[in-house]
Structure 1
Amino acid sequence: MLVQINTDKNIEGSSRFNDFFTEEINNTLERFDAIVTRVEVHISDENGSKPGTNDKKCVIEARVEKKQPLVVTAFADTTEKVFFAALEKIERALDATLEKIKEH
């Protein structure tokens, strides 16, 4: 599974940042390796440099073989919180997709 992390200009995307999030995705979604070919993460700060609550946004797109991509969005007040909220959502969505595949 290929993992790609993208950030906007307001979120610092260092290599440590990318490595940590990539490892978390691989650990959390490893049971879906057979059906997921690629995971793209987009993290942004909706307010830029202005303060605000729940202004961090994370969109995770999982490319599933022979299916439409699954996309989830989460909002939170920190980069870590928003990432883990979105990761939990994509895991649930993949669970549901895997169940549908098994039924057929």
Structure 2
Amino acid sequence: MMNSAPDSFSKSNSAVKHSTGVWRIYRKEDAMLQVIVNADNSVELHEPLMQHVEKTVRDALHHFAEQITRVEVHLSEANREKGADGENRCLIEARVAHQQPIAVSDNGPSLHQAIAGAADKLKRSVDSALGRLHEMKVRSGRTEH
């Protein structure tokens, strides 16, 4: 398992598919934040989908980039093997420095809709969690207003 982005990666997206089917996406200029995309066997990971996931997650979390060290995205589609239109699911877990991970999920008729919904939920959850943390620090006198 890799813990940080290698220096040899270019500024463009770099993806490595491991034998487990896990894709890892890194950007050299933003090595502090890792976006890791996982998909089950029902979802075909391709470059445009991975770029969409990365852009959506980074756009949603750009205000919190200094506090978030890693984001894991899990994509799945139910009932695909049965030939029916499946319910697409996106679960996103953010690792916030010195905090418990924050996880949210969303379902939708398309993966893009599920990804957008989960990213929006994550943005609100991280904002709320960091706001509570700041309030606790203010009350305890550990920071100034």
TM-score, normalised relative to structure 2: 0.67
Contact 2:56/2:115, CA 8 A, preserved across alignment: no
Separation in structure 2 between the aligned mates of residue 23 and residue 87 of structure 1, nearest angstrom: 10
1:8 aligns with 2:40: yes
Between structures 1 and 2, the one with greater helix share: 1
Alpha-carbon shift at residue 27 of structure 1 (Å) = 1.8
Aligned residues: 103
AA aligned to 2:113 is: K
Question: Sequence identity of aligned pairs in percent?
Answer: 29
Alpha-carbon shift at residue 9 of structure 1 (Å) = 1.3
Structure 1: tracts of 5 or more residues without a match: none
Alpha-carbon shift at residue 52 of structure 1 (Å) = 4.1
Separation in structure 1 between the aligned mates of residue 107 and residue 62 of structure 2, nearest angstrom: 24
Larger Rg: 2
Report what 1:23 is aligned to: 55
User: Could you say which structure has the greater relative contact order, defined with CA pairs below 8 angstroms and 6 or more residues apart?
Assistant: 1
Any runs of at least 4 consecutive aligned residues in structure 1 with deviations exceeding 2 A, and if so which?
Answer: none
Report what 2:96 is aligned to: 64
TM-score, normalised relative to structure 1: 0.91
Report what 2:8 is aligned to: none
Structure 2: tracts of 5 or more residues without a match: 1-32, 138-145
